[in-house]
Structure 1
Amino acid sequence: MIDSATGMSPGERYAVESLERTRSFCGFFLDGKYYLGPELLTAVGWLEGQTFIYDELDALGDPVFPDRVAGTIENLTLVLADGARLKLHPIPVHVPKDMHARAPVMGKNNGQLHGKTVVITGASSGIGRAAAHAFAEQSTRLVLAARDEKALAEVVEECAVRGAQAIAVKTDVTHGDQMRALAEKAAAFGNGRIDIWINNAGVGAVGSFENTPLEAHEQVLQTDLLGYLRGAHVAWPYFKGQKSGILINTLSLGSWVAQPFAAAYSASKYGLRGLTEALRGELVGYPNIHVCDIYPAVMDTPGFRDGANFTSHALTPPPPVYDPRQVARAMVACALQPRNSTTVGAAATIARVAHFLLPAFPQVSGWLTRTALQRAPHSATSSGNLFGPASGERRIEGGWRQTRRLPYWLVAASAALLLGGVVIARKHSTNNKPHN
C-alpha cells in the first residue's frame, strides 16, 4: 500500500529529477519500490510510509545513507537528508506500435485445438498470461479469469492479436459462487462445452511459520489448494456430461520437496498431488477425460515481487530461474497429447529425485533459505497480493533471469553431486549394518 501523502499512484512509474550538486537517482519508483532498470529487476529501495529506504552500498560494502534512509517523499517531492528537494514525475509506459507484427509465436498450430474452449485462472500475469498467449496461437476460444480486470482486458487484446477469441471474467478462486459463474460463462461462450480447464491461480506467503499470520496461511490454502478443488469441481460436470475434457493443474517442485518458510504453500502443493491422483482414480470408464499435472521449477514471474513477505528481508528467487513460456508450451503439449505428469526445468527433476532419495533434503533447503534471507537487505513486511490483486504493471516475466541465471553445467553438476551423495550415504548405511 502506497502512502497517499507521497502523491504517487499504484501502477505508475516515477523518475527523480536530476539537479547539479545533488545525488543522482537514475532509477524509478513503482508501487512503493525503487528499481534501477526498466526490466523490473530486484528492487534496491522501498518506501516505509513516506520514508525512502535505499540499499545503496559504497565501495567497502557499507550503506551510503545512514540507516539506509535516503530521505522522505511528500507530494511527489523527494526531500534528502541534506535538505535538497527533488521532484518526481510520472514516466509514460509506451506499447510499441509494431506489437501486432512482433507477437511471438510460441508453437506450431496444427489445428487440433482450433475452436476448443479453454479456461485459464490466474491469467493476468506470469504463467497464466503466457498460457493465454500460447493457447491463443492455437486458435482456441479463451475464457480468462483473474481478480485484476484491467490486466485481463490487456490479455484479451493480446490474444486477439494472436488470432483467438477471448473473454475476461473477473474471478476470485477463493469464492465458490464466482467459480460456478466462471464455468457457466465459459460454457455459454463455448456453445455448451468446456474442453480444457487450467487451474493456475496462485499466491504465496514467505516467512517463518509463527511469524506468518494465520489468516495469511489460510488464504494461501484457500487459493492454491481449495481454489484448484473448486475449479475441478465446477468443470467436472461438463467433462462428465460431454465424456471428454482435460484438467491441467500448475503444481510446483514444491509438490515433491517441502519449502521451508512457506509452510502453507508446501501444504497446498502436496495436497494437490493427492487431489489429482484421487480424481484420476474416479475416471474409470471415462477414457477421454484427463488430469494433467505440470511441475515447474522456479519461474521468472512477478510472484516473488507480488507475494506476501513476512521475513523482513527482500525476496529473490533461487537460481536457476526459467522462462514461464516453457510451462505454457508444456500445457499446450498436454492439451494435444495428455499425460499425467510433466516436469519443466532440470531443477524440478532434481528436486523430484531428491524427494525419493534424500529424506533430509528439506532440512538442507531450510538451512539454505535461512542463510539467504539473513544475507538479503531488510524490507518491510507485506501481505502482497494475498487478499487483492497486485498493483502495478502486469507482465509474464518478473525480470529475474538476467541476474539469477545458472549455467546448465552447474545444474548438471548439482544433479551429479546429489546422486553421488545418495550412493555414498547408502554405501555407508550398508557398511554399518550389524552382521549376523
Structure 2
Amino acid sequence: MGMTMTQKIMAAHAGRKSVAAGDFIEAELDMVLGNDITAPPAIAEFERMGSKDVFHKDRIALVPDHFAPNKDIKAAQQCKIMREFAYSQGITNYFEIGEMGIEHALLPEKGIVVAGDAVIGADSHTCTYGALGAFSTGVGSTDMAAGMSTGKAWFKVPSAISIVLRNKPGEWVTGKDIILHIIGMIGVDGARYKSMEYSGDGVGHLSMDDRFTMANMAIEAGAKNGIFPVDEVTEGYMDGRAKREWKVYSPDEDAEYDQVIEIDLSTVRPTVSFPHSPDNTHGIDDIPRISIHQVVIGSCTNGRLDDMRMAARILKGRKVAKGVRTIIFPATQEIYLQAVREGLIETFIEAGAIVSTPTCGPCLGGHMGILAEGERAVSTTNRNFIGRMGHHTSEVYLASPAVAAASAVSGFIRNPEDLEVM
C-alpha cells in the first residue's frame, strides 16, 4: 500500500522506507518552535532533564507573541525567561519586539520553514506550515523540551482524509470561508488525529495566504496536521525566502485514505461560525441581523497581506459604525510595513479603526481587545469557545476579513456582496 504525503515526510525523517497509519516512529526534526506561554515551561523542563545545549542553534525558533508587547509583570517575566535562554544558547531565530511577528506568519515569511520539513511547535496552530508542503504539528511543552535537547520527537503516524477541491471560489470567498465550510461539514472532531490532505484543480485558485489559513485551522477539525501539494504558487513564495533547500513529496497513487471529500469551491458561500464552536457554521445568506460591538481583523489565521488588502478594499471611503470597536493587527512587521506603503493603514485609520503592533493579544482574550459581559465580536481568529476573547457571556463569530470589514461598517454581521466595492 502506498503512502500519503504526510506519511512520506514522516518516513523520510524516521529513516525508514515506508510507514503506515498507526506506526510509532522517532523522527528527526527540522524546527522546534515555542512562544512566550509555552517556551518558559519547556525551558524549565530542558534544564530539569540536565540538558546543557540545544541540539542545533539554527533549528529552534522562539517568538514572544501572545502577551507581547508585555501586558503585565507576569508576561514580562515570561518573555525574560525566553530572552535569557535564547541569548545564553545563541539561538539564531529569536524574534522580539521590533522584529517579531505572530509566530505562524513569521516563520514562513523568514524562510525558516520550507517544503518537506518536519516541525513541532508548542502551539496548536503549528499546523499552519502544511501550506508549504511541510509536516508540522503542535505539541506540549515537555515534547518541545525534548525536541530542543535531542532534535527528535516520537509520533504515531496518522491516517488521512483526502479533500479534493474543484473549480474557482467566488470573489469574496477566501480560504477562511472554505475551511469553516469544511469544519462545518465534518465537525471539530471529524479529522481527529488524521492528516487533512488537499488536492484538486481548485488548489491552484488559492493564494498562499488562503492556504496558510486553511492549514492553520486543521486543528479546529481535530486534525494532526493539514497539508497542501507543492506547486508553482508554493515555490514562488519560497523563492528568495527559503534559508534551506526544500524537498517536494507527493502522495502515491495507491495511498490509502479513511475518507475522500470533494468540494466544489464555486458553490461555497461566505461562511460564519456562530458561538461557541468553530463547527457551528452558517452561510452568509442564512444569517439574521445580529448586532455587534467589536471587530477584530488579524491573528495567525488572517493577519496576512491579502487579509489587510481585502479589509481595506471594503473600508476605503467608509466609516466604522458608531459603537463598533474595530481592531486591526498585521501579523508581522513586514506585513505592517507593506500595508503602510500601500496606504492600507491610512485607510484603516480614516475609517475609524485602530491598528496594533503584531500580537496574538485579542485572539485569546489576552489584551488589546478583551470583551465585556454580553458583548459580541466578529473576528478573523480561529476559536470562539466560551470566554475565548473575554467575559464568559460574550460571543465570538468567526469570519473572513471581508465579512469582518463589512460588519464593521454596518454594525451587524453583513455580507460583503451587499456593499458596493470598487
TM, length-normalised to structure 1: 0.25
TM, length-normalised to structure 2: 0.26
Larger radius of gyration: 1
